């Protein structure tokens, strides 16, 4: 009897030990699964942060399946649209405000601008002052719609600081540079520099959006869907040729938009006369434009040039007929 009881005790002990072992294995497996799930969540959060910090579409040009395959020295050449946006007079604002006020101002502006870029699938390349530069891969019209949306958002918000946008289309070279411990993307292009140049010009000519003729040609039926006026030509030193310049006024405040719409033909006729070096008649056209729209910055610039050229010994015959040099 005692022997039977001992055997039963041993069997029960073995069975209990097995149950406890299985229980321990189950707990350990649960812990491993929970830990793996936590790591996946953290990895997902990190990936989400990386995507918010990095120009992912540009990185994807170099990825061969996984980000780990990125290599320094890889170079890609592509056709793309470049958008350059900024608020003018930012340097003066920096000197007048505290650091907290400056960053509050910048973020309040970008809070309105960035969604307009991302909604049209633009890729933000970098932030500069209170502005940014962005690429639109194979999507010139999306870039223009984004620019107009930026103007509308800032106008609606009552932003008083003068801001402007330059849009260009052309070749951009993108390459991976740096060191294996710290590398990134470098973009090299006259297209980018020209977009920034147009953005700076826009303030002087009281324009919100300036585009090149090359960019305009990328959008089918441009004149059917968008309001613009031919502003003149700029001379591109690197290319040794001129490039047409257009003021797209769809994003202007109503007063400026209406003024440009009413005087468009008169203004463009004046530009044609200026190009033909008929500065006297061109001057009269720009005076009439300013009578109808005294805030027309481009007409003021042309009137200044006409007066200056007419005052020369040869009445400006030896002067260039383009507006600017880049």
**pLDDT tens per residue across span 140-158:** 999 999 999 999 999 999 8
DSSP code, position 246: E
User: Is 110 exposed, middle or buried (CB count within 10 Å of its CB: 0-12, 13-18, 19+)?
Assistant: middle
Listed ranges 20-24, 43-47, 176-180, 232-236; the one with the highest mean pLDDT: 232-236
Which residues are within 8 A (CB) of 22 and not within 5 positions of it... i.e. 6 or more apart? none
- State CA 164 to chain mean position distance: 12
Contact predicate 206/290, CB 8 Å: no
Query: Cα–Cα distances in Å, from 82 out to 26, 59, 70, 133, 226?
Result: 57, 17, 24, 7, 19
Contact 182, 273 (CB under 8 A): no
Q: Can you tell me the distance from the alpha carbon of 303 to that of 113, in angstroms, rounded to the nearest whole number?
A: 34
Distance set, CA 3 to CA 6, 7, 9, 11 (Å): 5, 6, 10, 12
Q: What percent of the chain has pLDDT over 70?
A: 77
Beta strands per DSSP E along 35-121: 75-87
pLDDT in tens, 79-111: 899 999 999 887 777 777 788 888 898 999 999
Kindly state the tokens that stand for 88: 């003018």
| Whole-number pLDDT of residue 49 | 43
Q: Give the residue with greater pLDDT, 189 vs 255.
A: 255
How much is the mean pLDDT over the chain? 83
pLDDT for 11 equals 47
Contact indicator for 164, 208 with CB cutoff of 8 Å: yes
Phi-psi category of residue 101: left, alpha or beta, with phi > 0 → left and psi -120 to 50 → alpha: alpha
Distance of alpha carbon 270 from its chain centroid, rounded?
32
Label the pairing between strands 131-137 and 75-87. antiparallel
Lowest mean pLDDT among 68-77, 89-98, 202-211, 221-230: 68-77
Whether the per-residue pLDDT at 278 is higher than 90: the answer is: yes
Q: Residue 48: which pLDDT band, with cuts at 50, 70 and 90?
A: very low
Query: Cβ(175)–Cβ(76) under 8 Å?
Result: yes
Residue 44 has pLDDT above 90, yes or no: no
Instruction: Kindly indicate the confidence band of residue 137, based on its pLDDT and cuts at 50, 70 and 90.
Output: confident
Phi, psi dihedral angles at 183 (to 5 degrees): -135, 165
CA dist 69 and 66 (Å) reads 6
Side-chain-facing half-sphere of 38: CA atoms under 13 Å:
6
Closest CA to 283 of 302, 266, 264: 302
Instruction: Report whether pLDDT(112) > 90.
Output: yes
Out of 41-50, 87-96, 238-247, pick the least confident.
41-50
How far is residue 198's CA from residue 194's CA, in Å, rounded to a whole number? Answer: 6
The pLDDT of residue 24 is 59
Q: How far is CA 251 from CA 52, 55, 211, 218, in A?
A: 28, 27, 13, 20
Provide φ and ψ at 165, rounded to 5°: -135, 135
pLDDT at 47: 46
Confidence of residue 4 (pLDDT cuts 50, 70, 90): low
Mean pLDDT lowest for which of 8-12, 55-59, 297-301? 8-12
Highest mean pLDDT of the ranges 95-104, 122-131, 192-201: 192-201
Among the ranges given (3-7, 208-212, 298-302), the one the predictor scored with the smallest mean pLDDT? 3-7
């Amino acid at each position: 009897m005692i022997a039977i009881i001992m055997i039963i005790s041993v069997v029960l002990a073995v069975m209990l030990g097995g149950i406890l072992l299985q229980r321990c294995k189950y707990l350990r497996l649960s812990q491993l699964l929970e830990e793996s799930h936590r790591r996946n969540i953290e990895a997902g959060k990190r990936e989400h942060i990386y995507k918010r910090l990095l120009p992912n579409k540009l990185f994807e040009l170099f990825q061969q399946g996984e980000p780990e395959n990125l290599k320094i020295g890889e170079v890609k050449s592509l056709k793309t649209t470049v958008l350059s946006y900024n608020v003018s007079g930012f340097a003066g604002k920096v000197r007048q405000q505290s650091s907290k006020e400056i960053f509050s101002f910048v973020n309040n502006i970008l809070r309105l601008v960035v969604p307009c870029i991302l909604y049209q699938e633009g890729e933000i390349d970098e932030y500069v002052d209170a502005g940014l530069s962005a690429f639109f891969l194979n999507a010139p019209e999306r870039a223009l719609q984004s620019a107009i949306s930026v103007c509308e958002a800032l106008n609606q918000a009552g932003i008083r600081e003068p801001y402007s946008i330059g849009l260009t289309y052309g070749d951009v070279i993108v390459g991976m540079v740096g060191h294996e411990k710290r590398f990134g993307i470098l973009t090299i292009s006259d297209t980018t520099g020209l977009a920034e140049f147009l953005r700076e010009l826009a303030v002087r000519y009281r324009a919100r959006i300036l585009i090149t003729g090359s960019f305009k040609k990328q959008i089918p039926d441009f004149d059917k869907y968008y309001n613009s006026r031919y502003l003149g030509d700029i001379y591109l030193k690197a290319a040794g040729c001129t490039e047409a310049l257009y003021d797209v006024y769809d994003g202007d405040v109503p007063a400026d938009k209406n003024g440009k719409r009413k005087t468009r033909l008169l203004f463009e006729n004046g530009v044609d006369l200026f190009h033909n070096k008929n500065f006297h008649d061109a001057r009269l056209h720009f005076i009439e434009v300013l009578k109808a729209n005294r805030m027309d910055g481009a007409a003021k610039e042309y009137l200044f040039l006409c007066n200056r050229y007419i005052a020369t010994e040869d009445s400006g015959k030896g002067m260039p007929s383009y507006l600017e040099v880049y």
